[in-house]
Amino acid sequence: MKDFEVRSVRYDEPEAQTVMRAALAELAVRYGGTGDDTPMDPAEFTPPRGDFVVAFLGGEPVGGAGWRAHGDEDAELKRMFTSVAVRGRGIGRRVLAAVEESARAQGRRRMILEVGDLQPEAIAMYHACGYDRIENFGFYRNDPGCLSFARVL
């Protein structure tokens, strides 16, 4: 894909925050409220215990995701998002691959994630990328719409 790149950025950088605002706005439409009330500290997305990547197309941020340490071996995927205008072009898979590689490079052995049941596109992508259902964990573990997945890195 011409003029496309995925690169690590600090979670509090403007490009990351642009992507996160769009992600939360979409989640708010699907679920109501703020979209996601999970407590998140920008410091959690700083190597070696985390990272955040943004996808750029033509110099504009169009997607992103981060991971943060969960225990000693797992990486938790957070705020995976691709702009509606560019979905279906493989950007989400490339972002996910970049996040997985970052976590693997820091010695993480497994990627885990929570996703809501009103996100069938995300669920389908995770299945296609080799993620399997696991017991719910995390902030939304007791929410009936929460689905948790994992994949060995």
**First CA to last CA across the chain, in angstroms?**
25
pTM: 0.94
Q: Which two tokens stand for residue 37?
A: 């009330």
pLDDT at 2: 82
Domains, the chain, in order of start with CATH, read 4-112 (3.40.630.30)
Q: Which two tokens stand for residue 89?
A: 């072009």
Q: Which two tokens stand for residue 41?
A: 């500290």
pLDDT at 47: 95
Average pLDDT, the chain: 95
Q: Which two tokens stand for residue 24?
A: 């939360």
Where does the pLDDT of residue 53 fall: very low under 50, low under 70, confident under 90, or very high at 90 and above?
very high
Other C-beta atoms lying within 10 Å of the C-beta of residue 36: 18
- Nearest-angstrom CA–CA distance, 65 and 12: 13
